Structure 1
Amino acid sequence: MRSRGPARTPEDLVRALRAAGITDERLLEAVRATPREQFVPSGRATAAYNDVPVSIGHEQVTTQPSLSAMMIESLGLGGDEHVLEVGTGLGFQTALLARLAADVVSIEMWPDVAAEARRSLAGQGVRNVELRVGDGSGGVPDRAPYDAVIVSAAFPEVPAPLIEQVRPGGRLVQPIGSGGDEEVMSFRRTAAGLDAGRLLTAARFVRLRGRYGFP
Protein backbone atom coordinates (compact mmCIF):
# COMPACT_ATOMS: atom_id res chain seq x y z
CA MET A 1 0.00 0.00 0.00
CA ARG A 2 1.37 3.42 -0.94
CA SER A 3 1.94 5.77 2.02
CA ARG A 4 0.04 9.04 1.89
CA GLY A 5 2.44 10.75 4.28
CA PRO A 6 1.62 12.17 7.70
CA ALA A 7 -1.76 13.77 8.21
CA ARG A 8 -1.61 17.53 8.57
CA THR A 9 -2.76 19.10 11.83
CA PRO A 10 -3.56 22.51 13.34
CA GLU A 11 0.12 22.73 14.31
CA ASP A 12 1.03 22.79 10.60
CA LEU A 13 -1.24 25.81 10.19
CA VAL A 14 0.32 27.49 13.23
CA ARG A 15 3.76 27.04 11.66
CA ALA A 16 2.51 28.56 8.40
CA LEU A 17 1.11 31.56 10.27
CA ARG A 18 4.38 32.08 12.15
CA ALA A 19 6.22 31.96 8.82
CA ALA A 20 3.83 34.63 7.52
CA GLY A 21 4.78 36.93 10.40
CA ILE A 22 1.99 36.32 12.92
CA THR A 23 3.35 36.79 16.45
CA ASP A 24 0.23 37.14 18.67
CA GLU A 25 0.49 34.04 20.88
CA ARG A 26 -3.19 34.19 21.91
CA LEU A 27 -4.16 34.12 18.24
CA LEU A 28 -1.79 31.25 17.46
CA GLU A 29 -3.21 29.29 20.41
CA ALA A 30 -6.74 29.95 19.10
CA VAL A 31 -5.69 28.51 15.72
CA ARG A 32 -4.11 25.53 17.47
CA ALA A 33 -7.34 24.89 19.40
CA THR A 34 -9.75 25.29 16.45
CA PRO A 35 -9.99 22.29 14.08
CA ARG A 36 -10.27 23.90 10.64
CA GLU A 37 -11.42 20.62 9.07
CA GLN A 38 -14.73 21.24 10.85
CA PHE A 39 -15.10 24.58 8.99
CA VAL A 40 -14.49 23.55 5.37
CA PRO A 41 -16.72 21.56 2.99
CA SER A 42 -16.44 17.83 3.70
CA GLY A 43 -14.73 17.17 0.39
CA ARG A 44 -11.95 19.65 1.20
CA ALA A 45 -10.96 18.40 4.64
CA THR A 46 -7.53 17.30 3.38
CA ALA A 47 -6.74 20.97 2.56
CA ALA A 48 -7.86 22.27 5.95
CA TYR A 49 -4.36 22.75 7.37
CA ASN A 50 -2.79 24.18 4.26
CA ASP A 51 -2.55 27.96 4.19
CA VAL A 52 -4.96 28.28 1.27
CA PRO A 53 -8.49 29.63 0.68
CA VAL A 54 -11.26 27.08 0.13
CA SER A 55 -14.28 27.44 -2.16
CA ILE A 56 -17.64 27.51 -0.32
CA GLY A 57 -20.04 28.03 -3.26
CA HIS A 58 -21.82 31.14 -4.53
CA GLU A 59 -18.48 32.15 -6.14
CA GLN A 60 -17.17 32.72 -2.60
CA VAL A 61 -14.03 31.44 -0.89
CA THR A 62 -12.81 31.39 2.68
CA THR A 63 -10.12 33.90 3.56
CA GLN A 64 -6.62 32.40 3.45
CA PRO A 65 -5.76 31.59 7.09
CA SER A 66 -2.57 33.67 7.23
CA LEU A 67 -4.43 36.65 5.77
CA SER A 68 -7.33 36.20 8.19
CA ALA A 69 -4.84 35.99 11.06
CA MET A 70 -3.10 39.17 9.90
CA MET A 71 -6.43 41.01 9.88
CA ILE A 72 -7.40 39.68 13.31
CA GLU A 73 -3.99 40.52 14.76
CA SER A 74 -4.37 44.14 13.60
CA LEU A 75 -7.46 44.49 15.81
CA GLY A 76 -5.34 44.06 18.94
CA LEU A 77 -7.96 42.01 20.77
CA GLY A 78 -7.39 41.60 24.49
CA GLY A 79 -10.37 39.45 25.45
CA ASP A 80 -13.13 41.85 26.50
CA GLU A 81 -14.15 43.28 23.10
CA HIS A 82 -17.54 43.32 21.37
CA VAL A 83 -16.74 42.47 17.73
CA LEU A 84 -18.62 42.73 14.43
CA GLU A 85 -17.64 40.37 11.60
CA VAL A 86 -18.98 41.10 8.11
CA GLY A 87 -18.88 37.88 6.12
CA THR A 88 -19.15 34.76 8.28
CA GLY A 89 -18.29 32.27 5.56
CA LEU A 90 -18.10 28.80 7.09
CA GLY A 91 -17.16 30.19 10.49
CA PHE A 92 -13.46 29.44 11.02
CA GLN A 93 -12.52 33.10 11.40
CA THR A 94 -15.64 33.57 13.54
CA ALA A 95 -14.48 30.79 15.86
CA LEU A 96 -11.05 32.43 16.21
CA LEU A 97 -12.64 35.79 17.03
CA ALA A 98 -14.90 34.10 19.59
CA ARG A 99 -11.83 32.71 21.37
CA LEU A 100 -10.13 36.11 21.42
CA ALA A 101 -13.00 38.51 22.28
CA ALA A 102 -15.90 38.66 24.71
CA ASP A 103 -18.52 38.18 22.02
CA VAL A 104 -18.97 38.34 18.25
CA VAL A 105 -21.86 39.48 16.05
CA SER A 106 -21.36 37.96 12.60
CA ILE A 107 -23.46 38.59 9.51
CA GLU A 108 -23.55 36.45 6.34
CA MET A 109 -25.57 37.14 3.19
CA TRP A 110 -26.06 33.51 2.07
CA PRO A 111 -28.54 31.56 4.27
CA ASP A 112 -27.15 28.11 3.40
CA VAL A 113 -23.58 29.21 4.18
CA ALA A 114 -24.73 30.75 7.46
CA ALA A 115 -26.59 27.56 8.38
CA GLU A 116 -23.46 25.48 7.85
CA ALA A 117 -21.38 27.93 9.89
CA ARG A 118 -23.95 27.82 12.66
CA ARG A 119 -23.77 24.00 12.78
CA SER A 120 -19.98 24.03 12.85
CA LEU A 121 -19.79 26.65 15.60
CA ALA A 122 -22.32 24.74 17.70
CA GLY A 123 -20.37 21.54 17.12
CA GLN A 124 -17.30 23.20 18.63
CA GLY A 125 -19.24 24.55 21.60
CA VAL A 126 -18.87 28.19 20.53
CA ARG A 127 -21.62 30.07 22.40
CA ASN A 128 -20.54 33.72 22.33
CA VAL A 129 -21.45 34.31 18.66
CA GLU A 130 -24.68 35.84 17.39
CA LEU A 131 -24.95 34.84 13.73
CA ARG A 132 -27.32 36.74 11.46
CA VAL A 133 -28.30 36.45 7.81
CA GLY A 134 -28.53 39.71 5.91
CA ASP A 135 -26.81 42.62 4.22
CA GLY A 136 -23.48 43.02 5.96
CA SER A 137 -22.59 46.22 4.11
CA GLY A 138 -24.85 48.05 6.56
CA GLY A 139 -23.43 46.27 9.60
CA VAL A 140 -25.69 45.32 12.52
CA PRO A 141 -26.71 48.69 13.98
CA ASP A 142 -28.93 47.38 16.77
CA ARG A 143 -25.89 45.74 18.42
CA ALA A 144 -23.52 48.71 17.95
CA PRO A 145 -21.20 50.22 19.01
CA TYR A 146 -18.39 47.72 18.43
CA ASP A 147 -14.87 47.73 19.76
CA ALA A 148 -13.64 46.11 16.56
CA VAL A 149 -15.01 45.41 13.07
CA ILE A 150 -13.55 42.99 10.52
CA VAL A 151 -14.83 43.03 6.93
CA SER A 152 -14.03 40.01 4.77
CA ALA A 153 -15.00 41.49 1.39
CA ALA A 154 -13.75 44.39 -0.72
CA PHE A 155 -15.15 47.83 -1.49
CA PRO A 156 -13.34 51.03 -2.60
CA GLU A 157 -14.15 52.71 0.73
CA VAL A 158 -15.39 51.78 4.17
CA PRO A 159 -19.21 51.97 4.12
CA ALA A 160 -20.51 54.85 6.23
CA PRO A 161 -22.73 52.64 8.44
CA LEU A 162 -19.72 50.54 9.44
CA ILE A 163 -17.74 53.64 10.41
CA GLU A 164 -20.64 54.84 12.53
CA GLN A 165 -20.86 51.50 14.34
CA VAL A 166 -17.24 51.53 15.59
CA ARG A 167 -16.85 53.15 19.00
CA PRO A 168 -14.32 56.02 19.26
CA GLY A 169 -10.91 54.46 19.72
CA GLY A 170 -12.06 51.18 18.17
CA ARG A 171 -10.49 49.49 15.17
CA LEU A 172 -11.76 48.39 11.75
CA VAL A 173 -9.97 46.27 9.15
CA GLN A 174 -11.18 45.93 5.56
CA PRO A 175 -9.77 45.21 2.09
CA ILE A 176 -10.03 48.43 0.07
CA GLY A 177 -10.55 48.01 -3.68
CA SER A 178 -13.01 46.87 -6.31
CA GLY A 179 -12.64 43.13 -5.80
CA GLY A 180 -9.65 41.12 -7.04
CA ASP A 181 -6.71 43.42 -6.26
CA GLU A 182 -6.99 45.07 -2.85
CA GLU A 183 -5.02 46.79 -0.12
CA VAL A 184 -5.98 45.41 3.28
CA MET A 185 -6.16 48.42 5.58
CA SER A 186 -6.41 48.75 9.35
CA PHE A 187 -8.14 51.87 10.68
CA ARG A 188 -8.79 53.45 14.06
CA ARG A 189 -12.01 55.35 14.76
CA THR A 190 -11.49 58.95 15.80
CA ALA A 191 -13.89 61.72 16.76
CA ALA A 192 -13.91 62.82 13.11
CA GLY A 193 -14.35 59.35 11.57
CA LEU A 194 -11.55 56.98 10.59
CA ASP A 195 -7.87 57.83 10.59
CA ALA A 196 -5.79 57.50 7.41
CA GLY A 197 -5.29 53.80 8.04
CA ARG A 198 -2.32 51.44 7.98
CA LEU A 199 -1.56 49.11 5.07
CA LEU A 200 -1.32 45.48 6.17
CA THR A 201 -0.82 43.75 2.83
CA ALA A 202 -2.00 43.42 -0.76
CA ALA A 203 -4.52 40.64 -1.36
CA ARG A 204 -7.42 39.41 -3.47
CA PHE A 205 -10.94 39.41 -2.02
CA VAL A 206 -14.47 38.90 -3.27
CA ARG A 207 -16.63 42.00 -3.54
CA LEU A 208 -18.70 43.40 -0.68
CA ARG A 209 -22.27 43.34 -1.94
CA GLY A 210 -25.33 45.07 -0.56
CA ARG A 211 -26.97 48.43 -0.13
CA TYR A 212 -23.69 50.11 0.88
CA GLY A 213 -21.48 47.93 -1.34
CA PHE A 214 -21.65 46.64 -4.90
CA PRO A 215 -25.08 45.81 -6.39
Structure 2
Amino acid sequence: MARFTGLTVRTLHHYEDVGVVVPSRRTASGHRLYDERDLRRLYRVVALRDLGLSLESIRTLLADEVDLAGLLRDQLDHVRRRLSALRALRTRLSTLVDTADSAGDIASTDLLALIEEVSQMEETFANYFSQDQRARLEQRREERGQRVIDAEIAEWPQLIARVQDEMDAGTDPSDPRVRPLARRWTELLESFHGGDEGLRDSLYRMQRENSETIRERHGGPSPEMIAFIERANAAD
Protein backbone atom coordinates (compact mmCIF):
# COMPACT_ATOMS: atom_id res chain seq x y z
CA MET A 1 0.00 0.00 0.00
CA ALA A 2 2.87 2.39 0.79
CA ARG A 3 4.49 1.77 -2.58
CA PHE A 4 1.16 2.06 -4.38
CA THR A 5 0.15 5.41 -2.81
CA GLY A 6 3.55 7.02 -2.29
CA LEU A 7 2.92 7.37 1.44
CA THR A 8 5.36 6.09 4.02
CA VAL A 9 4.68 3.02 6.12
CA ARG A 10 4.97 5.23 9.19
CA THR A 11 2.19 7.49 7.84
CA LEU A 12 -0.08 4.48 7.24
CA HIS A 13 0.56 3.27 10.77
CA HIS A 14 -0.24 6.74 12.13
CA TYR A 15 -3.49 6.90 10.15
CA GLU A 16 -4.46 3.59 11.71
CA ASP A 17 -3.53 4.76 15.21
CA VAL A 18 -5.80 7.82 14.96
CA GLY A 19 -8.58 5.82 13.31
CA VAL A 20 -8.84 7.48 9.90
CA VAL A 21 -7.74 4.46 7.78
CA VAL A 22 -7.84 1.09 9.53
CA PRO A 23 -6.93 -1.95 7.40
CA SER A 24 -9.78 -4.39 6.93
CA ARG A 25 -7.82 -7.50 7.87
CA ARG A 26 -4.48 -8.80 9.03
CA THR A 27 -2.58 -11.91 8.10
CA ALA A 28 -1.82 -14.60 10.62
CA SER A 29 1.64 -13.06 11.00
CA GLY A 30 0.17 -9.59 11.69
CA HIS A 31 0.69 -7.88 8.33
CA ARG A 32 -1.97 -5.34 7.43
CA LEU A 33 -4.26 -6.10 4.49
CA TYR A 34 -6.05 -3.28 2.68
CA ASP A 35 -8.97 -3.83 0.33
CA GLU A 36 -10.44 -1.53 -2.34
CA ARG A 37 -12.72 0.19 0.17
CA ASP A 38 -9.69 0.98 2.35
CA LEU A 39 -7.90 2.41 -0.68
CA ARG A 40 -10.84 4.70 -1.54
CA ARG A 41 -10.96 5.91 2.06
CA LEU A 42 -7.23 6.54 2.05
CA TYR A 43 -7.51 8.66 -1.09
CA ARG A 44 -10.22 10.73 0.60
CA VAL A 45 -8.00 11.24 3.62
CA VAL A 46 -5.08 12.35 1.43
CA ALA A 47 -7.32 14.77 -0.51
CA LEU A 48 -8.69 16.31 2.67
CA ARG A 49 -5.21 16.58 4.15
CA ASP A 50 -4.13 18.46 1.02
CA LEU A 51 -6.86 20.97 1.88
CA GLY A 52 -5.21 21.49 5.26
CA LEU A 53 -7.79 19.69 7.41
CA SER A 54 -6.64 18.07 10.62
CA LEU A 55 -6.80 14.30 11.03
CA GLU A 56 -9.35 14.73 13.83
CA SER A 57 -11.61 16.77 11.52
CA ILE A 58 -11.16 14.14 8.80
CA ARG A 59 -12.00 11.31 11.17
CA THR A 60 -15.25 12.93 12.29
CA LEU A 61 -16.06 13.97 8.74
CA LEU A 62 -15.70 10.46 7.35
CA ALA A 63 -17.92 9.23 10.17
CA ASP A 64 -20.64 11.58 8.80
CA GLU A 65 -20.60 13.58 12.03
CA VAL A 66 -19.95 17.01 10.50
CA ASP A 67 -21.09 19.02 7.49
CA LEU A 68 -18.48 18.87 4.71
CA ALA A 69 -19.47 22.18 3.10
CA GLY A 70 -19.35 23.99 6.45
CA LEU A 71 -16.00 22.44 7.30
CA LEU A 72 -14.55 23.49 3.96
CA ARG A 73 -15.86 27.04 4.40
CA ASP A 74 -14.17 27.24 7.79
CA GLN A 75 -10.96 25.96 6.27
CA LEU A 76 -11.19 28.50 3.45
CA ASP A 77 -11.58 31.32 5.99
CA HIS A 78 -8.54 29.98 7.85
CA VAL A 79 -6.48 29.93 4.64
CA ARG A 80 -7.55 33.47 3.80
CA ARG A 81 -6.41 34.68 7.22
CA ARG A 82 -3.07 32.94 6.76
CA LEU A 83 -2.65 34.49 3.30
CA SER A 84 -3.43 37.93 4.66
CA ALA A 85 -0.84 37.49 7.41
CA LEU A 86 1.74 36.27 4.90
CA ARG A 87 1.07 39.20 2.58
CA ALA A 88 1.54 41.62 5.48
CA LEU A 89 4.78 39.88 6.41
CA ARG A 90 5.98 40.03 2.81
CA THR A 91 5.25 43.76 2.63
CA ARG A 92 7.07 44.36 5.92
CA LEU A 93 10.11 42.37 4.83
CA SER A 94 10.21 44.07 1.43
CA THR A 95 10.24 47.47 3.12
CA LEU A 96 13.06 46.42 5.42
CA VAL A 97 15.11 44.91 2.60
CA ASP A 98 14.67 47.97 0.38
CA THR A 99 15.70 50.30 3.20
CA ALA A 100 18.69 48.17 4.15
CA ASP A 101 19.79 47.97 0.51
CA SER A 102 19.53 51.73 -0.02
CA ALA A 103 21.33 52.49 3.24
CA GLY A 104 24.13 50.04 2.56
CA ASP A 105 25.79 48.82 5.72
CA ILE A 106 23.14 49.43 8.39
CA ALA A 107 23.93 49.03 12.10
CA SER A 108 22.00 46.39 14.00
CA THR A 109 20.57 48.99 16.39
CA ASP A 110 19.32 51.05 13.45
CA LEU A 111 17.84 47.96 11.82
CA LEU A 112 16.03 47.00 15.02
CA ALA A 113 14.63 50.53 15.29
CA LEU A 114 13.49 50.30 11.68
CA ILE A 115 11.82 46.94 12.31
CA GLU A 116 9.99 48.42 15.30
CA GLU A 117 8.81 51.39 13.25
CA VAL A 118 7.56 49.20 10.40
CA SER A 119 5.75 46.95 12.86
CA GLN A 120 4.05 49.97 14.42
CA MET A 121 3.00 51.16 10.97
CA GLU A 122 1.57 47.73 10.22
CA GLU A 123 -0.33 47.71 13.50
CA THR A 124 -1.76 51.16 12.83
CA PHE A 125 -2.78 50.11 9.32
CA ALA A 126 -4.54 47.01 10.69
CA ASN A 127 -6.52 49.20 13.09
CA TYR A 128 -8.15 51.07 10.21
CA PHE A 129 -8.41 48.50 7.43
CA SER A 130 -10.30 45.24 7.85
CA GLN A 131 -8.82 41.93 6.85
CA ASP A 132 -10.98 41.90 3.73
CA GLN A 133 -9.89 45.43 2.84
CA ARG A 134 -6.23 44.53 3.26
CA ALA A 135 -6.75 41.55 0.98
CA ARG A 136 -8.31 43.82 -1.68
CA LEU A 137 -5.41 46.24 -1.37
CA GLU A 138 -2.95 43.40 -1.84
CA GLN A 139 -4.86 42.25 -4.91
CA ARG A 140 -4.71 45.79 -6.32
CA ARG A 141 -0.98 45.86 -5.62
CA GLU A 142 -0.47 42.66 -7.61
CA GLU A 143 -2.66 43.85 -10.48
CA ARG A 144 -1.01 47.27 -10.80
CA GLY A 145 2.56 46.10 -10.31
CA GLN A 146 5.19 47.18 -7.83
CA ARG A 147 6.98 49.46 -10.31
CA VAL A 148 3.89 51.63 -10.78
CA ILE A 149 3.25 51.78 -7.05
CA ASP A 150 6.86 52.70 -6.27
CA ALA A 151 6.71 55.52 -8.82
CA GLU A 152 3.56 56.92 -7.22
CA ILE A 153 5.07 56.70 -3.73
CA ALA A 154 8.14 58.56 -4.95
CA GLU A 155 5.92 61.26 -6.47
CA TRP A 156 4.17 62.16 -3.21
CA PRO A 157 7.05 64.13 -1.57
CA GLN A 158 7.48 66.22 -4.71
CA LEU A 159 3.76 66.93 -4.94
CA ILE A 160 3.52 67.84 -1.26
CA ALA A 161 6.49 70.20 -1.62
CA ARG A 162 4.92 71.96 -4.63
CA VAL A 163 1.62 72.42 -2.80
CA GLN A 164 3.47 73.76 0.23
CA ASP A 165 5.28 76.27 -1.98
CA GLU A 166 1.95 77.60 -3.25
CA MET A 167 0.59 77.83 0.28
CA ASP A 168 3.69 79.67 1.47
CA ALA A 169 3.34 82.08 -1.45
CA GLY A 170 -0.24 82.83 -0.44
CA THR A 171 -1.69 81.43 -3.66
CA ASP A 172 -5.48 81.16 -3.65
CA PRO A 173 -6.66 77.54 -3.89
CA SER A 174 -8.76 78.42 -6.93
CA ASP A 175 -5.71 79.75 -8.79
CA PRO A 176 -5.08 77.91 -12.11
CA ARG A 177 -1.58 76.98 -10.89
CA VAL A 178 -3.04 74.97 -8.01
CA ARG A 179 -5.74 73.07 -9.84
CA PRO A 180 -3.40 70.64 -11.69
CA LEU A 181 -1.71 69.88 -8.38
CA ALA A 182 -5.05 69.20 -6.73
CA ARG A 183 -6.16 66.95 -9.58
CA ARG A 184 -2.94 64.94 -9.39
CA TRP A 185 -3.37 64.69 -5.62
CA THR A 186 -6.82 63.19 -6.14
CA GLU A 187 -5.53 60.82 -8.82
CA LEU A 188 -2.84 59.45 -6.52
CA LEU A 189 -5.38 58.87 -3.77
CA GLU A 190 -7.74 57.15 -6.17
CA SER A 191 -4.93 54.92 -7.39
CA PHE A 192 -4.74 53.64 -3.81
CA HIS A 193 -8.42 53.04 -3.07
CA GLY A 194 -9.55 52.40 -6.64
CA GLY A 195 -12.89 54.12 -6.10
CA ASP A 196 -13.80 51.78 -3.25
CA GLU A 197 -15.71 53.97 -0.77
CA GLY A 198 -14.84 51.75 2.18
CA LEU A 199 -11.11 51.89 1.42
CA ARG A 200 -11.31 55.64 0.83
CA ASP A 201 -13.09 56.28 4.13
CA SER A 202 -10.63 54.08 6.06
CA LEU A 203 -7.71 55.90 4.44
CA TYR A 204 -9.10 59.33 5.27
CA ARG A 205 -9.89 58.34 8.86
CA MET A 206 -6.39 56.97 9.37
CA GLN A 207 -4.94 60.21 8.01
CA ARG A 208 -7.13 62.41 10.20
CA GLU A 209 -6.43 60.53 13.42
CA ASN A 210 -2.69 60.12 12.80
CA SER A 211 -1.84 63.21 10.79
CA GLU A 212 0.87 64.48 13.16
CA THR A 213 2.66 61.12 13.34
CA ILE A 214 2.43 60.64 9.58
CA ARG A 215 3.79 64.12 8.95
CA GLU A 216 6.70 63.78 11.40
CA ARG A 217 7.79 60.28 10.45
CA HIS A 218 6.92 60.08 6.78
CA GLY A 219 6.63 63.66 5.54
CA GLY A 220 2.88 63.46 5.06
CA PRO A 221 0.62 66.47 4.48
CA SER A 222 -0.65 68.68 7.26
CA PRO A 223 -4.40 69.14 7.90
CA GLU A 224 -4.04 72.67 6.52
CA MET A 225 -2.61 71.30 3.28
CA ILE A 226 -5.43 68.80 2.93
CA ALA A 227 -7.97 71.59 3.47
CA PHE A 228 -6.15 73.65 0.82
CA ILE A 229 -6.44 70.79 -1.70
CA GLU A 230 -10.12 70.30 -0.86
CA ARG A 231 -10.83 73.96 -1.56
CA ALA A 232 -8.90 73.74 -4.82
CA ASN A 233 -10.93 70.71 -5.94
CA ALA A 234 -14.17 72.42 -4.97
CA ALA A 235 -13.23 75.43 -7.11
CA ASP A 236 -12.28 73.28 -10.15
The normalised TM-score by structure 1 is: 0.28
Instruction: Say which structure, 1 or 2, has more relative contact order (CA 8 Å, 6+ apart).
Output: 1
Q: Whose radius of gyration is greater, 1 or 2?
A: 2
Which has the larger share of helix?
Answer: 2
